Amino acid sequence: QITLKESGPTVVKPTQTLTLTCTCSGFSLSTGGVGVTWIRQPPGKALEWLALIYWNDDKRYSPSLKSRLTITKDTSKNQVVLTMTSMDPLDTGTYYCAHTIFGEFPLQYGIDVWGQGTTVTVSS
């Protein structure tokens, strides 16, 4: 059974850097085709895609946030880490990590398993 769980601070101050960890189980980050993606959702608003990392360390970022985001993976711990710099109150929301597969095409089978999400509040 594939599961993902997000962890990190619940509150960060403006201008600080946010570091979130996604701990994955039921699959290996080194298995061909595997990808882990981060998506966020401000309170009462829509989902917003942030970043994705594949088994081969290929990475993709949202163009609007690319300068602030870094996604990495630790295969030995089966974890994916997302860092976001220069945090602002507008970055407040729930952050999800999720599993996907690169079949013949990117995200061919959708984002099929989601973590429960972790809530981050940006406030001084």
Question: Contact positions toward other proteins, by CB under 8 A?
Answer: 37, 39, 45-49, 52, 60-63, 96, 105-112, 114-117
Task: Give the angle subtended at the CA of 31 by the CAs of 65 and 100, to the nearest 5°.
Answer: 45
CB of 110 to other proteins, least distance (A): 3
Least distance from other proteins to the Cβ atom of residue 33, Å: 15
- How many angstroms from the chain centroid is the CA of residue 117? 10
Which lies closer to other proteins via its Cβ, residue 11 or residue 47?
47
Nearest to other proteins of 9, 117 (CB atom): 117
CB of 9 to other proteins, least distance (A): 20
* Longest distance between any two alpha carbons in the chain, whole Å: 46
Among 36, 48, 30, CA closest to 6: 36
Q: Identify the bridge partners of residue 123 per DSSP, sorted by sequence position.
A: none
